[in-house]
Amino acid sequence: MPPEPAVPTTGAVDPAAHAVSAVEEAPAASPSDAPRPTLATLPLTLLIQAAASAATIAPAVAAPALLPRLEVGAVAVGIYIALVYLAAMGSSQWGAALVKRWGPIRTSQVALGATASGLMLVALPHVAAAAFGALLIGAGYGPITPASSEILARTTPPERYALVFSVKQTGVPVGGALAGLLVPTVLGHQGPVWALALIAALCVLGALLSEVLRGELDALRDPAAPLPTLARLAQPMRFVASHAVLRTLALCSLVFSAVQVCVSSYLVSFLTHDLRWTLVAAGVGLAAAQVAGVVGRVLWGVLADRSGEARGALIGLAVVMALCGLAMPWLTPSMPHAAVTAVLVAYGATAIGWNGVFLATIARVVPLEQAALATSGCLFFTYFGVVIGPPLFGATGGALGALGTSFALLALPLGWSLWQLWHWRARVA
């Protein structure tokens, strides 16, 4: 049977969530569901997220060396990203079921193993192997966030959700920064196989270190819980569709994720093609944007926690993202690198900095035991944005002959997101 519509938990929630709670409140969590602070959980989930993120971005960073081996053009970067997140769309829907049966740590370990294996397939000079590797990377990436949300929702006080979830989500730009710095360096000395093998080793390391906490964090798993099936694939999406706040978050995340992955995946190509930067300089530019995303996620999380206003934080993020995108066509090869980097830093702090506030809001508006289910359902829409965004972005850039214009056009869907967020209270009241 489809799950009952989720309702907000009591406690520290943003004003939009209070609009829903005025109708009905979630039942109080049982003592066994109460948060149990564990110092190691945040560093562990951060490491897992960073390793998985680096794995998804590394092939795009290594594209200048991989594409000639595969005898394909630059549009293959967008196809690669689409394949990764197409697989992640499906596997994320099974994340809650896997967490319930295996536990969040075992689920994360299996996911990291799949991601590492996919990287090594992408390194092979065969299009079919690379395509299957992309799907395997995505299959591993999908369950990572539902698993970590389950861990953090149970071990974090609600009034600190936005900050803790934001810190954990800094693993995405941290992974991107690692890929931006390590892959071009190893690429120049050892080639693409060793560059991707290094990132695969990071995934294996994350899986091994997480074993330390598996006994404690997987203690609530149900070994008799059913494994995911195709028939259950739509259950998380139905759950989100039944909840007004989750619907709004899911639809906005579709746009935000498309912007984020276009920035992460095409920034190196934009800098090398449109601005004629060297590959190493472009890698440093990507790393600067990703590091800004790390700082931005923490700052936005602190802002959302202190103000209790997730909606305002998301609106501010959308506005700055749109302005940075509109500025990209005005950047020229003659401009100082410092000036260009300043724009990239602002872009990274917002386009890569929104996820923590988004995930924390999901965790706040549903009961603890439904955190993984709600996250899985929202991530279907998040990853759908990633699937459709890069191919459309790349095709537009190819037709116009400049990726900068493609970045500017991203302001259109961001404007739609602003409209959605502006009318958030009216729809959920």
Helix (H, G, I), strand (E, B) or coil at 329: helix
Query: Taking 70 as the threshold, does the pLDDT of residue 425 lie above it?
Result: no
232 against 338, higher pLDDT: 338
Handedness of CA 160, 162, 163, 168 (dihedral sign): positive
pLDDT tens sequence across 192-250: 899 999 999 999 999 999 998 888 888 878 787 777 776 677 778 888 888 888 888 89
Q: Does domain 15-25+39-219+233-428 have CATH number 3.40.50.720?
A: no
Per-residue pLDDT at 410: 94
CB 260 within 8 A of CB 274: no
Query: Taking 90 as the threshold, does the pLDDT of residue 416 lie above it?
Result: yes
SS (H, E, C) 330-370: HCCCCCCHHHHHHHHHHHHHHHCCCHHHHHHHHHHCCCHHH
Read off the pLDDT band of 424 (50, 70, 90).
low
**H helical segments located in 142-243:** 144-155, 161-169, 171-190, 192-209, 214-217, 235-241
* Residues 6+ positions from 341 with CB-CB distance below 8 Å: 285, 288
Determine the average pLDDT of the residues in 104-116: 94
Structure tokens at 238: 């139905």
Query: Taking 80 as the threshold, does the pLDDT of residue 314 lie above it?
Result: yes
* Residues 6+ positions from 401 with CB-CB distance below 8 Å: none
* Residues 6+ positions from 29 with CB-CB distance below 8 Å: 9, 367, 368, 369
Structure tokens at 206: 């994350």
* Residues 6+ positions from 315 with CB-CB distance below 8 Å: 418, 421, 422
On average, the pLDDT of the chain sits at 81
* Residues 6+ positions from 79 with CB-CB distance below 8 Å: 391
- Rounded-to-10 torsion of CA 271, 322, 387, 182: 40
Query: Taking 60 as the threshold, does the pLDDT of residue 17 lie above it?
Result: no
Determine the average pLDDT of the residues in 53-76: 86
Per-residue pLDDT at 39: 64
Helix (H, G, I), strand (E, B) or coil at 221: coil
Q: Of the segments 129-133, 162-166, 388-392, which one has the largest average pLDDT value?
A: 129-133
* Residues 6+ positions from 424 with CB-CB distance below 8 Å: 16, 245, 248, 311
